[in-house]
Each structure stands twice: as structure tokens, then as C-alpha cells.
């Protein structure tokens, strides 16, 4: 299994958001370590401010990694939802987002909890009211 791609830091440094959106598909590349994929994805999201046309597929990928990497997955979701505040069309499937939000809001890790709250706030501010009571449903 490869640990990383040597070109990624170079491409990240170039800061071309269109190009970085293509790198984000490495999230599914199982030949790369999950930790590296999630950190690279998070760094790409930071550089692109989450903008892209594939939020739903990224969230599906994040769900697969959630059991073993909850902190990074929730942080990626928070960064991904930043685009919901600026993009005209930001579509997510609530049944895909809910498990990530619930895991984050139930977490005892402060960074994970804060990232989940940020993601929820971003989604609510973007008009996704279906995420209003996630904390209550996670508690029950």
C-alpha cells in the first residue's frame, strides 16, 4: 500500500482549485492509506473552500471511513459544508450526512464535536432544515 503521492504537496502548493478538485477523488483510492487520503482531502477542501460538484459522492466516501477515522471524517464534512454557504446548488443526501453529524455530536473529543457543530451550522444556514434536530436524535 502506498503511503502518499509525492506530487500532491507540489500540486497543493500551486493552489489551483480546479486541479485540486480532481485530486479530491483520491479519497476513494484504497491503494493509499486512509489517514493520508483523509488528510489530503481535508487540505484540498481548505484550499478550495469545499467548492466542487461532487459533495454527495464525497460524503458517501466519508461514511465508509467514519468507523475508523471519526475525527478526520467529521472535520472533512465541516470543510465540505463551507461550500453550502456560497454555492447556489449544494445537494447532500440527509441519510448520508446524518451518521457523520451524529458521530461528531456524540463525540467526547472537543475538536470532533466542534467540527460537527460547524458542519451542522453551515447546513442550517444554507437552508437545510432537516439537520436542525440532529443532536436530539443522536441523544435518543
C-alpha torsion angle, residues 71, 25, 96, 3 (rounded to 10): -30
Cα 88 vs. chain centroid, distance in angstroms?
Answer: 19
* Average pLDDT of every residue of the chain: 80
Can you give the pLDDT at residue 63?
95
Regarding predicted confidence, which is higher, 5 or 67? 67
Q: Cell 503511503 sits at which residue?
A: 3
Cell digits for 19?
A: 486541479
- What pLDDT, on the 0 to 100 scale, is given for residue 44? 80
pLDDT (mean) for 102-126: 95
For residue 38, what is its C-alpha cell? 483523509
Indicate yes or no: pTM above 0.85: no
CA angle 97/101/102 to nearest 5° reads 115
pLDDT at 1 over 50: no
Residues in Cβ contact with 61 at an 8 Å cutoff, skipping those fewer than 6 apart: 27, 28
Amino acid at each position: 500500500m502506498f503511503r502518499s503521492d509525492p506530487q500532491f504537496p507540489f500540486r497543493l502548493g500551486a493552489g489551483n482549485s480546479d486541479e485540486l478538485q480532481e485530486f479530491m477523488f483520491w479519497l476513494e483510492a484504497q491503494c493509499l492509506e486512509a489517514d493520508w487520503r483523509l488528510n489530503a482531502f481535508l487540505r484540498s477542501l481548505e484550499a478550495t473552500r469545499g467548492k466542487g460538484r461532487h459533495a454527495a459522492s464525497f460524503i458517501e466516501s466519508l461514511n465508509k471511513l467514519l468507523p475508523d477515522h471519526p475525527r478526520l471524517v467529521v472535520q472533512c464534512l465541516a470543510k465540505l459544508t463551507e461550500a453550502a454557504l456560497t454555492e447556489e446548488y449544494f445537494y447532500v443526501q440527509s441519510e448520508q450526512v446524518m451518521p457523520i453529524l451524529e458521530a461528531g455530536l456524540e463525540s467526547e473529543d472537543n475538536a470532533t464535536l466542534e467540527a460537527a457543530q460547524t458542519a451542522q451550522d453551515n447546513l442550517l444556514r444554507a437552508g437545510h432544515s432537516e439537520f436542525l434536530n440532529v443532536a436530539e436524535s443522536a441523544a435518543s
